[in-house]
Chain A
């Protein structure tokens, strides 16, 4: 059914990647094993649950049996008296049981105060909400005691669809008179007018489901009271800054709570909110004993944050010449029982709703609505993947209507540097979506021939824009310390949380590059609020940008200090010195004065270090990097620059659809992204490959099914994520514009790589079967239904 598109093939014969000169780096951009890889491969790395503390108690959380109910009473008498039990706590025992969602950053941002409760009080709002805590000598005793807590519920009606929850007479999930947590509007130009004269209009609705992060390491932590009375929490967390929130919950000063984040076994946004930390702190505070808490996988699937389902209505207008003239989108997200980060996820969706395209008239209205489903919060992509699934299928539908190939239509409409996004932000950094699109499409190569009469082959592409760095009105900052030891080895201290993407390793690489040492000469101390300068959250694809720049700044200051000293020692201007291979090399200048002594030999770095040390010159620097920021008067009417920058990229895929079963087999999967400058090529490719398979899971397999608020996919045999057999080799193409705002011109890649995979697969499936599947996941049944149902509009990619 799918044939090679001759027009597309011709265009991509010549490579069209602009040549941007690659500086001669020692370490940056190489394919190097990460500095943490060896410990991990020899089983030496200790994750948060791998260091038991002597005398620790075991905690268990009792969770709500109902999605919506009044909490009449919680009787803990029997439980408290059971063998081995040291504490049973409920809402009344929590000094500050209600907090508002905050980022845990250096400033508070007003506007969206969404209530979050530590332990349920008076009402439960989702099934799995924490109702009580138990700490006992053994895990079995804690489980028994939790079961012995008598909770009286009065089940309430509840509401489980955000569109229902929007209605004026809907069940009220929270305490206010609306279920709407936040809403935004974008108005650029006049979309209503523009639609009147558009030659082609495509209008569709899209739906994407709840998803779970399924980090292989479930939530876990251990906490204790140290000798100075500081509550110390070692947890698998993306945000050590939650020490402030935890301190507030306990009514303690901030300097009496310490959070340590060792290497995480994955985060993906699911460990961005407080998970175990508050429960641990409460039980330590109550019992005085160390306490450990690890969620079971079922508990994690049931009770921790989920990816937002979205109901999306999209309308696009274009002219016969192929240019987009207008987009109108209505986005409704399911915030679940509590707001958490829903307002911000919605904002990201709103900003990215038009996609990486030039659209003169934009109208977006978006709503995040409470329901009694599991609460939703941060998930890799943070609202961008949902809208990408919609706008990229819109692009293919428009292309088909206009008789153009998917690539051709997009190339006519891609944004370029210097043009304005959907919110009117003129993007001055590299916008190389078109380059990535041509690379990705070309890499598909010759179409695979069907292997039987039951097979249809299809190919598709999808491009995305995804921000990196925080919302610019959050005044984001990060700090890093870089310092030499007396023997010339290097120490980096930075609060960065390493969630598996090599966050710590990148800092080591940057410091080593600037200071001319080997990667093995660097030790990175990370993730400790007591001992490492705070770097902010590992979220929002911000760490390379923020702590990378802070580390670059600190390392550069140290380098400049050393160069000054080296210059004195060599009798040359510091500007003539290059630091590499652990020595200061004197750069030869052409206009050497006659009579000047010949170029000095390289001066060993160690000599300079020692000279500085003995003259009291600091061999270290603590730097703070401030992201550019602005104030925003009206958050709700979104316009102008909202993010520091975006990463642009494209996925391309080829699939084989089984016409009997609807099964989708992915034959080829390509990810081409402009990463600005890869700090470590193995790591950057790893993000592309991992993000692609994240998109594959979203597209084909993953669905947290909720029935009246009850999770009916409670374990990993019903909530399916991709195995090694479900994906082909992912071909990762690193495009390097060197035009990002991160260190060395890097752009962030952790989330962007996961945004366009699903719509690329959806477009490939549509190409194979002639029908768009506008709902995820594209399970075999959903695909078979799409093939069998004659009512569905047929979209053919070819005229």
Chain B
């Protein structure tokens, strides 16, 4: 099986991997690039747990071949913000109790980020539409919408 050498920027750092054509970006992120913050919930684009930002847009990394990400910017949750420099979405999720088991959180926060980039002043219904590709089984979504709504207000006054 032929192997391809790919290069991408993961959370701002140049990284390399050796992949087959069939390897998904999700596979490679978790097995070769140590990005365990990206989760595998279903493998076929139905749950959103594997969401990453690919050149700034939220996508299912399980529906993207690793070779297709060659030359791209990939951002995962760890690249969005850190304890020292948190993203407003991360702070809002914590403050509003929008995290229970946390397994959907990575994908949910990144999808929210991408959504807020396009919709800086969303209604609650628009927020629901924006995260409709990210399943959560624990929270019932209400506090997630609360958190994203707050982050949108913070963004309006500050960093994006």
* B97 and A38 contact, CB distance less than 8 A: no
B102 at the interface (CB under 8 A from A): yes
* A686 and B134 contact, CB distance less than 8 A: no
Interface centre among A42, A49, A724 (most CB of B within 10 A): A724
A386 at the interface (CB under 8 A from B): no
* B137 and A266 contact, CB distance less than 8 A: yes
* B93 and A41 contact, CB distance less than 8 A: yes
A264 at the interface (CB under 8 A from B): yes
Quick one: given A40-B102, A264-B101, are A216 and B141 in contact (CB under 8 Å)?
A: no
* A500 and B43 contact, CB distance less than 8 A: no
- Chain A interface residue count: which class? 35 or more
- Number of residue pairs across A and B with beta carbons under 8 Å? 168
Cα distance A217–B83 in the bound complex, in angstroms: 25
B65 at the interface (CB under 8 A from A): no
Contacts of A49 in B (CB 8 A): 40
Chain A: CB-nearest residue to B82? A42
Q: How far is the CB of A722 from chain B (nearest CB, A)?
A: 8
B6 at the interface (CB under 8 A from A): no
B28 at the interface (CB under 8 A from A): no
Specify the main secondary structure of chain A where it touches its partner. Answer: loop
* A686 and B135 contact, CB distance less than 8 A: no
Chain B: CB-nearest residue to A500? B101
* B140 and A723 contact, CB distance less than 8 A: no
* A727 and B141 contact, CB distance less than 8 A: yes
Pairs across A and B, CB under 8 Å, 26 listed: A37-B102, A41-B77, A42-B81, A42-B83, A43-B106, A46-B36, A47-B103, A50-B36, A215-B101, A215-B137, A216-B39, A218-B41, A266-B138, A297-B42, A297-B47, A500-B101, A500-B138, A682-B143, A685-B143, A686-B100, A689-B141, A694-B137, A716-B42, A723-B133, A724-B131, A732-B142
What does the 1/0 interface line of A500-511 toward B look like (CB < 8 Å)?
111000000000
B70 at the interface (CB under 8 A from A): no
A263 at the interface (CB under 8 A from B): yes
**Which A residues are closer than 8 A to B by beta carbons?**
31, 33-34, 36-38, 40-47, 49-52, 213-218, 263-266, 268, 294, 296-297, 499-502, 682-683, 685-686, 689-694, 715-717, 721-725, 727, 729-730, 732
* A686 and B83 contact, CB distance less than 8 A: no
B124 at the interface (CB under 8 A from A): yes
Q: How far is the CB of B139 from chain A (nearest CB, A)?
A: 5
Contact partner, B143, options A52, A213, A502, A689, Cβ 8 Å:
A689
B7 at the interface (CB under 8 A from A): no
Interface size on B, residues (CB 8 A): 53
Contacts of A729 in B (CB 8 A): 124, 142, 145
* B137 and A725 contact, CB distance less than 8 A: no
Q: How far is the CB of B48 from chain A (nearest CB, A)?
A: 9
* A33 and B102 contact, CB distance less than 8 A: no
Chain A: CB-nearest residue to B124? A729
Contact partner, A37, options B39, B40, B82, B99, Cβ 8 Å:
B99
B123 at the interface (CB under 8 A from A): no
Cα distance A52–B44 in the bound complex, in angstroms: 23
Contacts of A722 in B (CB 8 A): 141
B96 at the interface (CB under 8 A from A): yes
* B97 and A263 contact, CB distance less than 8 A: no
* B140 and A216 contact, CB distance less than 8 A: no
Q: How far is the CB of B75 from chain A (nearest CB, A)?
A: 11
Contact partner, A216, options B104, B109, B145, Cβ 8 Å:
B104
Contacts of B95 in A (CB 8 A): 33
Q: How far is the CB of B27 from chain A (nearest CB, A)?
A: 9
Instruction: List the 5 closest A-B pairs by CB distance, nearest first.
Output: A500-B101, A43-B37, A265-B103, A682-B97, A40-B102
